[in-house]
Structure 1
């Protein structure tokens, strides 16, 4: 029997993710800033059997190194506006009692102590259903200006900072309190046993701390850890810390190689090969007929303007394609922002003009289009060929329309083939995604060691 997949829904608290898809008749961008929009989506995903709702983040927006913001960014909603997704979670957790939630927070923009408090609190409020997607942040040119940081930090230095950041967070979550530290004994007057709360000391290359962690252990202690870096530094970081790694491959052979590589790196670090789950992006368009599905895919692909896609590429890679000769290539270009993204477009036979024209089709993960049976067949084929553990289903138009046909028509077929559990998973997010029998980090994880 094939492995049973984990499924997440990929969202961002914004009108759209890929520019201009909000203009499609099926899009529902109006409610993105309010709670009701996301509550409706959470109910749909929960009832449909998804395991988690994943929020990407864009702390900044596309900007050139000189500080210029292309007008199209504001005019056509190119990752502008984007609201603060973690603030949604307590309301969504009160709306549904099974679905997990993963939110993205940046080690470049945040502080370890403050982030640890936020995620411990969310883990309490969600009863152990929260995950942290660890990023070092794209759109660095805008971010450093917004935060007053001066200059863009070198790529590998950002990952060194992230390592120190996560190490300190793990110390707070895992070492600050013993189990059963809160007797709350009215007779003795002991609410918390001082002997079971420990003063912590951290003196790392980027962060220092001396003191107590004032939040009691949450159901998972440490939120389930996600990571999405695809550079060498990013893969090493993911293999060290991540329990679930988000990839964005579009080619089956490349995806299979990446999955093997990530498992090899985890094993080299003393973790079991199945200690990391790999989920790849998946854009699904379903139709009653193949012709209808392909027509809808064309409409979706054609929605973003060339100008808007160039702005997206600028934000994600730091490279402004509009400044290049369309006949030039990106072969010798370097960046400190989106190295893995840029590498995908550095084929010496690929011109800048071809990159611009192809961005709408090449950004994101696997694109599967067809009837429900065709979609299920292709998903099964991808799983068998790549050994991925699941998918982040990318929203297409925004709102519940993005997932309606996939839930109604495709998921029953996957369930019948044994690719999804007969009944939706329950428990902590860690238990649902990793299959462990405990909400806590496994003993092989560096946070426990």
Structure 2
């Protein structure tokens, strides 16, 4: 059985997928404090997690005319949310092993400034940072909050994203040779100009001419994550991503998607095993199966039906609450969240049925039971799907989400050979791939390395 990798799936806010901030066991009031996240980082680091993953929400769910969803604001659906990259150095100073992954958008950001921030954090964390690349699902927020002129079509966002990443790779890999920072006091030579290269890029979306101001960080390029599930998104992920986040809930479909992504990677000239596939995992653990089932039901019903409708709108652009509850989604089209919408376009499923089902189906695999049963279920998922690991989804919030898993399930996984005897160390890329701190030779970014 393979060793799996483990990440914790969070957002810098009081609630996320489960929307369970109102659950009796939830205590997320400290989400605006560094101490709250440092406590979580310390627990994950000591427990043997490989990384802490932060999703991002640049906006909140909005209707088609750009009006804020009142239920989203009132009940806390992707609102409020802090910016995550600002947290990372404060967390990395707390722990010396745990990696961090931060989401930023190729639709909302600029390549130069985004690259500069990640290079800085890669230096300050000694190579423990990853970039989760998204094109932004909430296009209404792009218009209303960031001043974009209109909703950017799905495929156009991916064209921009490909150019954005390509330019970022030129900056990270193609500007500084190793050893260019010489700092020779006697000759007043800080940089060896023979080993510093100007970057030239003139593309459809971006133009850049100049020198990148940051010398190579431990990874040069942060470890690249991506989570697109549409056909275009999967092609993008298999081209650039080193770790792909998927959200399957069916074993057969999960196995098929893992195989498809590896085959797509091979078609792009990459080793199929060079990309790691991690699936979302929602955990409920109790002393008995009966207690676990009750706890799962409490977690499932914590968010209101309306709140889940608002979350669906933020991710897909489709306002279920405004549609006829007896209609279906079969003919609905969207420029965002296409793969999510497709999951609910069964012509026999009404809008009302979708609203009823969302609380049970949002997110990845739902694993419920005693510690032994949970370990059995995880082992079965790995065996059947061949996933490389999991992102444990934020449930009730804070350390409570992970405590029993760390204390009672991870030792069982370790004894079964699913986790290494000792937690992994090194840069994030080394921990996840077992290879070098730098991009492998078959990654498209390696062609720019000087």
Would you call these one fold, judging by a TM-score over 0.5?
A: yes
1:289 aligned partner: 288
2:443 aligned partner: 445
Residues 341-390 of structure 1: CA distance to partner in whole angstroms, max 9, x if unpaired?
Answer: 00010111111111000100000000000000000000000000001000
The 3-state SS of whatever aligns with 2:200 is strand
Q: Is the 8 A contact 1:174 1:448 kept in 2?
A: yes
Q: Distance in 1 between matches of 2:261 and 2:201?
A: 29
Deviation, 1:318, is 0.2
Q: Distance in 1 between matches of 2:70 and 2:284?
A: 31
1:30 aligns with 2:26: no
Superposed, 1:288-367 pairs within 5 Å as 288-367=287-366
1:8 aligns with 2:7: yes
Q: Distance in 2 between matches of 1:256 and 1:339?
A: 21
1:105 aligns with 2:104: yes
Q: Distance in 2 between matches of 1:67 and 1:49?
A: 43
The 3-state SS of whatever aligns with 2:284 is strand
The 3-state SS of whatever aligns with 1:32 is helix
Residues 68-102 of structure 1: CA distance to partner in whole angstroms, max 9, x if unpaired?
Answer: 21211111111110110110001001000100000
2:261 aligned partner: 262
Residues 264-321 of structure 1: CA distance to partner in whole angstroms, max 9, x if unpaired?
Answer: 1100000001011000000011001111111111000011001111100110000001
Structure 1, unaligned stretches of length 5 or more?
Answer: none
Q: Distance in 2 between matches of 1:71 and 1:51?
A: 37
Q: Is the 8 A contact 1:17 1:79 kept in 2?
A: yes
1:221 aligns with 2:220: yes
Deviation, 1:191, is 1.4
Deviation, 1:323, is 1.7
The 3-state SS of whatever aligns with 2:445 is coil
Moved more, 89-98 or 134-143: 134-143
Deviation, 1:328, is 1.1
Q: Is the 8 A contact 1:10 1:56 kept in 2?
A: yes
Superposed, 1:155-170 pairs within 5 Å as 155-170=154-169
Q: Is the 8 A contact 1:72 1:307 kept in 2?
A: yes
Alpha-carbon spacing, 1:246–1:19, altered in 2? closer, same or farther (3 Å): closer
Q: Distance in 1 between matches of 2:393 and 2:18?
A: 14
2:139 aligned partner: 140
1:126 aligned partner: 125
The two structures, once aligned, show a CA RMSD in angstroms of 0.7
Deviation, 1:143, is 2.1
2:240 aligned partner: 241
Q: Is the 8 A contact 1:48 1:407 kept in 2?
A: yes
Moved more, 65-74 or 300-309: 65-74
Q: Distance in 1 between matches of 2:189 and 2:69?
A: 59
Q: Distance in 2 between matches of 1:372 and 1:266?
A: 35
Q: Distance in 2 between matches of 1:36 and 1:401?
A: 15
Deviation, 1:432, is 0.2
The 3-state SS of whatever aligns with 2:100 is strand
The 3-state SS of whatever aligns with 1:116 is helix
Deviation, 1:340, is 0.6
The 3-state SS of whatever aligns with 1:448 is helix
Q: Is the 8 A contact 2:18 2:299 kept in 1?
A: no
Residues 17-72 of structure 1: CA distance to partner in whole angstroms, max 9, x if unpaired?
Answer: 03640011111110001100000000000000000000000001100111221211
1:192 aligned partner: 191
Structure 2, unaligned stretches of length 5 or more?
Answer: none
1:78 aligned partner: 77
Matched length: 447
Q: Distance in 1 between matches of 2:392 and 2:130?
A: 17
Deviation, 1:188, is 2.4
Q: Distance in 1 between matches of 2:19 and 2:129?
A: 30
TM-score (norm 1): 0.99
Deviation, 1:187, is 2.1
